[in-house]
Amino acid sequence: MFGSKKTKDIIGRAERVSFPELKVKFVPAKIDTGADLSSIWATAIHEKDGVLGFKLFGPKSKFYSGERIEIKSPNYLLTRIASSFGHRELRYVVKLQVELGGRVIKGSFSLSDRSRKTYPVLIGRKLLNGKFLVDVTKGRPLLALEKQKKVKLDQDLKIFKKWEKKA
């Protein structure tokens, strides 16, 4: 074997992350090894004259400050992102310093509307690769919110099955 083997920190399926440069701390994040790129909830996204402006999170989020973040070209890009459902959309991608599992690293995050998601931040493979191992029995998941969403989904499924039987 060549070179020294770096140790990988073990993280769970959900963790709290911080963004030190933006003074945002302890945001719940879903660790998703199926996602290529990381994503963060952003609103009021607007590009003009080589400057990308946005606000992190939305007004209903406890992490929302209303502060506008501006990033100058060429420190962002517009790229096509494919969802797990195959839906493609154009999204801006920015590099942000993130603290995860006791490590501070730079990662690429797509800016997206995650207002309907359980977790306002998603951490994907590119950020995890070579640095972390994921143990799904560990972490800090939002159990109450996950359970609430599961109950709603189960209710919707029952309604659909009743409808399907009638058809």
Amino acid 80: pLDDT: 93
The answer to pTM > 0.75 is yes
Omega into 74 within 30° of 0, i.e. cis? Answer: yes
What is the predicted pLDDT for the residue at 162? Answer: 81
Which ranges constitute the DSSP H helices of the chain? 125-128, 143-166
User: What per-residue confidence (pLDDT) applies to 4?
Assistant: 46
Contact 12, 137 (CB under 8 A): yes
Q: Residue 127 maps to which CATH number?
A: 2.40.70.10
Give the pLDDT confidence score for residue 161 in this predicted structure: 81
Which two tokens mark 166? Answer: 């009638």
In a domain, residue 162? The reply is no
- Of the candidates 90, 108, 109, 81, which has an alpha carbon nearest to the alpha carbon of residue 47? 90
Range of the domain at 32: 10-141
Q: Please check whether residue 154 lies inside any domain of the structure.
A: no
Q: Which two tokens stand for residue 139?
A: 């972490």
- Within-domain flag for 152: no
In 3-state terms, what secondary structure has residue 48?
Answer: strand
Q: Judge whether 3 lies within some domain.
A: no
Q: Residue 155: its pLDDT value, please?
A: 86
- If one counts the domains in the chain, the total is 1
Inside any domain, residue 150: no
For the chain (167 residues), the mean pLDDT of every run of 10, in chain order, is: 68 96 96 95 97 97 96 95 83 97 96 94 96 92 81 83 80
Token pair in block for residue 97: 């310093």
Task: Decide if 123 is inside a domain.
Answer: yes
69: closest CA among 102, 35, 92?
A: 92
The pairing of strands 38-48 and 76-82 is: unpaired
Does residue 67 sit within a domain?
Answer: yes
Q: What is residue 5's predicted lDDT score, i.e. its pLDDT?
A: 61
Enter the tokens of residue 34.
Answer: 């199926």
> For residue 1, what pLDDT is reported?
44
Give the pLDDT confidence of 128-150 residue by residue, as tens digits: 999 999 999 998 888 777 888 88
Closest to 109 (Cα-Cα) out of 41, 22, 31, 48: 41
Instruction: Look at residue 115 and tell me if it is in a domain.
Output: yes
